[in-house]
Amino acid sequence: MANQSTVTEFLLMGFSDDHDMQILYFSMFLVIYLTALIGNFLLGVAVILNQHLHAPMYFFLVHLSYSDVCFISTTIPKAMATSLTNNREISYVGCAAQIFSVFTCAGTELALLTVMAYDRYVAICHPLQYTLMMNWNACLQMAAASWISSLFHALLHTTLTFRLNFCKSNIIEQFFCDVPHLQNISCTDTRINQILIFVLALITDTFCSGFIFISYGYIFSVVLKVPSVQGRYKAFSTCAPHLIVFSLFLISALFAYMRPQSLSSHTWDLLSAVLYTVFPPLLNPLIYSFRNKDIQKAMWRMLKT
């Protein structure tokens, strides 16, 4: 493949070439995918149908659930199709769409988690001003900003990636189109791309992570001053799901992109990609359901009807 104009498709590397193992992986992914879809769907419907859950925290939670559904739907269906049919081909346009979708969903998830940390900060540190600061107009603007900024961020990364020429190979050593693996098979100098991606990631991740950690620093300082043990427990219980979800997302993303070279191999690449793209959408609704009694009650009422 001499240049970018001649590339019409890429080949994704699956998890195994053995037919029986491919069927096993298909079955595993099917269970994971359906569990994630059902969990996020039930969470969203429970919030929408229950009037007492119509609050900013749950409004952002519905957006997070929708983002999770989009996130896992970007990679898992193609991986299941590859395992079932052994057809590893993905078109040039399909690969670009996958990268755009992954960056959009990952960016939106990080932005929403940052906004949700701000919501908890206002609720605990400034309770008397909560309804004023977190009015519905402000919530809509923050949700829209999360999606729109992520769309522009994803468009930039997709454009940077597909300005490259691909002539070394068309084999991507991953089960979905991933930027580092596309850079590996490019015959164009990728140093500028790598620097830009690193700088953008550093700015975005540092800002969002720093904002969340600072918010929880203020939250914990206020909660620890509450004289009532029950009051402290209630405050911590509303923050715990968000903090667990953020930690899961951050750790899986860091492991995927910042792990040492000694852990860089095809097996570790596949494992880290699964942790990053599959685990957060799968576990987020379970974490919020197990840790939030209001959501548990709403789900039980909905399932009984």
**DSSP string spanning 254-300?**
HHHHH--GGG-SHHHHHHHHHHHHTHHHHHHHHHHHHH-HHHHHHHH
Highest-scoring range by mean pLDDT, 142-151, 158-167, 282-291: 142-151
- What is the DSSP track for 202-254? HHHHHHHHHHHHHHHHHHHHHHTT-S-HHHHHHHHHHHHHHHHHHHHHHHHHH
Of 251, 77, 302, residue with least CA distance to 176:
77
At residue 4, the pLDDT reads 44
More confident: 117 or 6: 117
DSSP 134: T
In this model, does residue 109 exceed pLDDT 50? yes
- Maximum separation of any 2 CA atoms in the chain, in Å: 70
At residue 291, the pLDDT reads 65
Q: How sure is the predictor about 1, in pLDDT bands with cuts at 50, 70 and 90?
A: very low
Q: How far apart are CA 121 and CA 230, in angstroms?
A: 19
Task: Tell me the pLDDT of the chain averaged across its residues.
Answer: 84
At residue 5, the pLDDT reads 47
> Does pTM surpass 0.85?
yes
At residue 305, the pLDDT reads 65
What is the torsion angle, in degrees rounded to the nearest 10, for the CA atoms of residue 103, residue 107, residue 110 and residue 111? -170
Q: How sure is the predictor about 247, in pLDDT bands with cuts at 50, 70 and 90?
A: confident
At position 10, the amino acid (one-letter code) is F
**pLDDT, mean of residues 215-233:** 83
Cβ atoms of 106 and 256 closer than 8 Å: no
DSSP 50: -
More confident: 169 or 71: 71
Q: How far apart are CA 152 and CA 112, in angstroms?
A: 16
First-to-last CA distance in the chain? 59
What is the bridge-based pairing of β-strands 9-12 and 89-91?
antiparallel
In this model, does residue 3 exceed pLDDT 70? no
**pLDDT, mean of residues 73-92:** 88
**pLDDT, mean of residues 85-103:** 90
What is the strand order of the sheet 89-91 is part of?
89-91, 9-12, 171-172
At residue 18, the pLDDT reads 79
Among the ranges given (5-19, 142-156, 182-196, 276-290), the one the predictor scored with the smallest mean pLDDT: 5-19
